Amino acid sequence: MSGGAATAGLVADPRPRREDPRLLTGQGSYVADVRLPGMLEAAFVRSPLAHARIRAVDTDAARAAPGVIAVLTGADLSDVEPFPDLRERTRPVRQRALCIDRVRYVGAPLAVVVAEDRYLAEDAAELVDADLEELPVVADMDAALAPGAPLLYDDWPDDRIVATAPVDPELDAIFETHQVVRGTYRMQRHTAMPMETRGVVATVERGRLLVWTSTQVPHVVRTVIARTLGLPEHRIRVVAGDVGGGFGSKLHVYPEEVVIPALAWRLRRPVRWIEDRREHFLASSHARHQRHDLEAAVDERGDIVAVRGDLVCDVGSGEILPPGVAPAFVSAGSITGPYRFPRSQARLTCVVTNKTPSGAYRGFGTPEIVFALERLLERVARETGQDPVELRRRHLIRPEDLPYETPNGRRIDSGSHLEAFERAVAWAETTRERLAPTARGSIGVGYANYIEGVSPNYHATSGLWAQQETSTLRIEPDGTVVVASGLGPMGQGTETMLATLASQLLGVPHDQVEVRLGDTDLSPYGLGSFGSRSTVVAAGAVQLAAGRLLDKVRTIAGHLLEASATDIELVDGRARVVGSPDRSVGLAEVAHLAYFRTFDLPPGTEPGLEATGAYEQPGVDHRPNAQGKLNICLTYANSTHACVVDVDRATGVVRLLAHLAVHDAGLLLNPQVVDGQIMGGVAQGIGGALYEQLLHDADGQPLVTSFMDYLVPGAPEVPELTIDHLSTPSTTTPFGLKGAGEAGATGVPAAIANAVCDALRDTGIDITQTPITPSSIRAALRATPDPTTTEGS
């Protein structure tokens, strides 16, 4: 479809993406592709110790090395302000772009070498001699919680960066008078691992800083550069070209995004730094490292009347902006999932340890709590003698419950929670029968139900930026349309999406629309792409801008056609009189008046054809209310995952035979793109469930720093996914849209764990942590009585 009449609605437009031809032919423009005349290259010197005081950093030998232009330490950059600590109720870390007196994780930046090329910079980086005084290492969350633990921050009383302790005597009374089922569930440290590492190129152009960086949040990066370097924002331009994946890791602003601009500013020469993969393992955000003690109070009918949890998140050193505590708050706030548990409470403790700072990763705290809750439900079913499917069915939100407010204040406006689950159960029962186990294997089925917050309030995460998004629409003199947005795409097809919005909401052909993104000079201030928000907030902003621009087009076209402005509609790029399609003018003719023959404009009409719309989402809370409730997102998509696995009883190897995602994201603007988001999310979920982990030894030394050890799933590990779309529009969003960026990843660890336990149910195995490795299954089987040596199912 191309264009069509501007209407109150949007329709699905399953076209191939406009980004693809350049990406398929090697014509994309990623940060590492930027090459400038006279460009220097930087290499960072990183801490080899997890915790140490910096006595001195000797750079003399490095400075004397061939091709070296400059070597800077933290002391040399002491005039650079610390990263701002913006979030309330989170202890300040005063993160430095280069460490000054203390290093708190292996990989922390100590110094930077700038040389004629990267080879020479890396040679010289080896010559930098850091005199470090080792300090006791806090290697894990238990060590951080122990009384008298060594402190990472000398002015803190302990290593807790966040501690919430809600008190609810009524809830405690419920747990004292009911049967209680409890479990402890752990998710391992793993992370986004985009195929493109990070990178920054900076230069000074006509007195302004020009910075290329691989980021999801170009404007936010600009603000942080301005605050740390003390420059006005208008003297900084941040450009994110094509970004090679982000998945949350690139919504953080990193030290190198300040250091490289500072170097370019001082040296007045272009400087490039491209993170290598080992650096990425050390210096880009980790994620998901949580432990949940969960309890359910069950009444005599087997109904769950309350859940409560004690959640601990290991955020690493904490030196990251926005702080890595935010996903753990989402875990705590999502403790009831899509289930009607009348009461809930979550105590949250986030601790700092001597490891790489953790932060955002697709799902943002939700996969962790879904894993814990769905495993707990299985245990409740077993300990109370119930069918786990029936237990879920009885507690899921039903259509008549909507809108439904969870005990934590999430306001779920719409969804198909029970229907999604029923469809998954029907699929799983059929699929289980169809699939045969391997010779030593047993087959099992697992489910996970969840909701995924869409378009979160970034204020709760960052402490500063809230939730607005802005788009500008301009009709050029030749009638083409330019839409500019502050979103920060990382491969999701955002350009195509924005063109589709502008095309449909204005009424112009798709190929008549050009999109400007990822450049702070070309786009209005926006908060970037994260939290499954891009399509939803862009639709809100483009809708406002298109309405304003259409009003003007109607006025001018009405004047040209001698008709009332209210009788003009824009269809396929032509303004025509409603009911008389013969009477029409093209957008170029309208623009000709607006820009050139301005003396022919209707009286009082301002020249030009441009409008801006800034969308602020309604009904989202910025801080908890007196009862601790917080509605953090604009809406909540729902999903059920089901999978069928084969578990080899001798080796413990899990094979995923079939996986279903029933997904309700409302209207799908580009169904093929939404499917792609779910497929990619599921693959990442498989990695987190079975393969990926970032291990450290007792000294905080990372044991996994390459793709040899960090097992990103390859094609053989990811089965064909079946996607079943339901389509319940939101009542709170523009056009009923819901986001779909994150949800694919969220249900996978829980569904696979449940399926593995189902396959081995005769053994009583109860998986409580990820990754579910062959050795962990063999260990669990050894630890449980084995009533049979034959295939279990």
Partner 1 sequence: MNDLEPVDALDIELRVNGSAVRRRVPVRRLLSDLLRDDLSLTGTHVGCEHGVCGACTVLLDGQPIRSCLQLAVTADGCEVTTVEGITPADGSLSPLQAAFRDAHGLQCGFCTPGFLMTLVAADPAEHPTDGSIDALLSGNLCRCTGYQNIRTAVRRAWGRDDEGNASAGSDTPLGSGTSSGSGAS
User: Whole-number minimum distance, CB 520 to partner 1, in Å?
Assistant: 21
Which of residues 244, 407, 507, 613 is near partner 1 by CB under 8 A?
244
Q: Answer for the pair 446, 431: CB distance below 8 angstroms, yes or no.
A: no
Q: What are phi and psi of 120, to 5 degrees?
A: -70, -35
Instruction: Work out whether 454 is an interface residue with partner 1 (CB under 8 A).
Output: no
Site for partner 1 in 697-716 (CB under 8 A): 706-708, 712, 714-716
User: Whole-number minimum distance, CB 735 to partner 1, in Å?
Assistant: 9
Instruction: Work out whether 229 is an interface residue with partner 1 (CB under 8 A).
Output: no
C-alpha distances out from residue 421 to 164, 405, 728, Å: 33, 20, 15
User: Whole-number minimum distance, CB 4 to partner 1, in Å?
Assistant: 13
Nearer to partner 1, 191 or 461 (CB): 191
Instruction: Work out whether 748 is an interface residue with partner 1 (CB under 8 A).
Output: no
d(CA 328, CA 332): 6
CA atoms 238, 317, 768, 171: torsion sign: negative
Site for partner 1 in 110-149 (CB under 8 A): 119
DSSP-assigned beta bridge partners for residue 52: 103, 134
Site for partner 1 in 544-583 (CB under 8 A): none
C-alpha distances out from residue 480 to 470, 494, 572, 629, Å: 20, 19, 12, 47
Per CB under 8 A, which region of 315-323, 507-515, 533-541, 667-675 contacts partner 1? 667-675
User: Whole-number minimum distance, CB 686 to partner 1, in Å?
Assistant: 8
Which of residues 179, 438, 612, 672 is near partner 1 by CB under 8 A?
672
Surface-to-core class of residue 147, CB atoms within 10 Å of its CB (0-12 exposed, 13-18 middle, 19+ buried): exposed
Per CB under 8 A, which region of 80-88, 237-245, 591-599, 763-771 contacts partner 1? 237-245
Site for partner 1 in 292-351 (CB under 8 A): none
Which of residues 78, 177, 430, 625 is near partner 1 by CB under 8 A?
430
Q: Answer for the pair 396, 451: CB distance below 8 angstroms, yes or no.
A: no
**Residue with the two structure tokens 């990754």:** 771
User: Whole-number minimum distance, CB 769 to partner 1, in Å?
Assistant: 24
Which of residues 202, 253, 682, 752 is near partner 1 by CB under 8 A?
682
d(CA 567, CA 118): 63
Nearer to partner 1, 28 or 628 (CB): 28
Instruction: Work out whether 26 is an interface residue with partner 1 (CB under 8 A).
Output: yes
DSSP 495: H
Nearer to partner 1, 194 or 407 (CB): 194
Residue 400 sits at the vertex; the CA angle it makes with 396 and 401, to the nearest 5 degrees, is 55
Four-point Cα dihedral 193, 195, 197, 200, nearest 10? -130
CA 580 and chain centroid, separation:
49
Site for partner 1 in 252-281 (CB under 8 A): 274, 276-278
User: Whole-number minimum distance, CB 696 to partner 1, in Å?
Assistant: 20
User: Whole-number minimum distance, CB 311 to partner 1, in Å?
Assistant: 28
Sheet holding 633-648, edge to edge: 441-456, 633-648, 654-664, 721-726
Per CB under 8 A, which region of 296-304, 439-447, 541-549, 723-731 contacts partner 1? 723-731
Which of residues 340, 393, 394, 423 is near partner 1 by CB under 8 A?
423
Nearer to partner 1, 24 or 439 (CB): 24
Buried b (16+ CB within 10 A) or exposed e, 419-441: bbbbbbbebbeebbeeeebeeeb
Q: Tell me, residue by residue from 762 to 791, as one string, x for binding to partner 1 by CB under 8 A and - for no binding.
A: ------------------------------
Which of residues 245, 302, 586, 628 is near partner 1 by CB under 8 A?
245
User: Whole-number minimum distance, CB 657 to partner 1, in Å?
Assistant: 5
Sheet holding 513-516, edge to edge: 513-516, 481-485, 469-475, 610-615
Instruction: Work out whether 239 is an interface residue with partner 1 (CB under 8 A).
Output: no
Instruction: Work out whether 23 is an interface residue with partner 1 (CB under 8 A).
Output: yes
Nearer to partner 1, 125 or 561 (CB): 125
Q: Answer for the pair 238, 26: CB distance below 8 angstroms, yes or no.
A: no
Nearer to partner 1, 300 or 720 (CB): 720
Nearer to partner 1, 208 or 655 (CB): 655
Which tokens is 750 given?
């829980």
User: Whole-number minimum distance, CB 453 to partner 1, in Å?
Assistant: 21
Instruction: Work out whether 729 is an interface residue with partner 1 (CB under 8 A).
Output: yes
DSSP 503: I
User: Whole-number minimum distance, CB 626 to partner 1, in Å?
Assistant: 38
Nearer to partner 1, 36 or 163 (CB): 36
Nearer to partner 1, 152 or 674 (CB): 674
Site for partner 1 in 485-504 (CB under 8 A): 490-493
Which of residues 197, 216, 529, 635 is near partner 1 by CB under 8 A?
197
Per CB under 8 A, which region of 134-142, 193-201, 300-308, 694-702 contacts partner 1? 193-201
Which of residues 2, 7, 27, 651 is near partner 1 by CB under 8 A?
27
Buried b (16+ CB within 10 A) or exposed e, 665-693: bbbbbbbebbbbbbbbbbbbbbbbbbbbb
Nearer to partner 1, 465 or 710 (CB): 710
Q: Answer for the pair 132, 99: CB distance below 8 angstroms, yes or no.
A: no
Nearer to partner 1, 563 or 755 (CB): 755
Site for partner 1 in 48-77 (CB under 8 A): none
d(CA 449, CA 447): 7
Instruction: Work out whether 722 is an interface residue with partner 1 (CB under 8 A).
Output: yes
Instruction: Work out whether 680 is an interface residue with partner 1 (CB under 8 A).
Output: yes
Per CB under 8 A, which region of 342-350, 419-427, 516-524, 619-627 contacts partner 1? 419-427
Collapse the DSSP code of 582 into the 3-class scheme (helix H, G, I; strand E, B; otherwise coil) and give the result: strand
User: Whole-number minimum distance, CB 749 to partner 1, in Å?
Assistant: 15
Phi-psi map region of 142: left, alpha, beta (phi>0 left; psi -120 to 50 alpha): alpha
DSSP-assigned beta bridge partners for residue 306: 297, 343
DSSP 105: S
SS (H, E, C) 8-27: CCCCCCCCCCCCHHHHHCCC
d(CA 355, CA 283): 10
How many residues touch partner 1 under the rule CB under 8 A: the total is 84
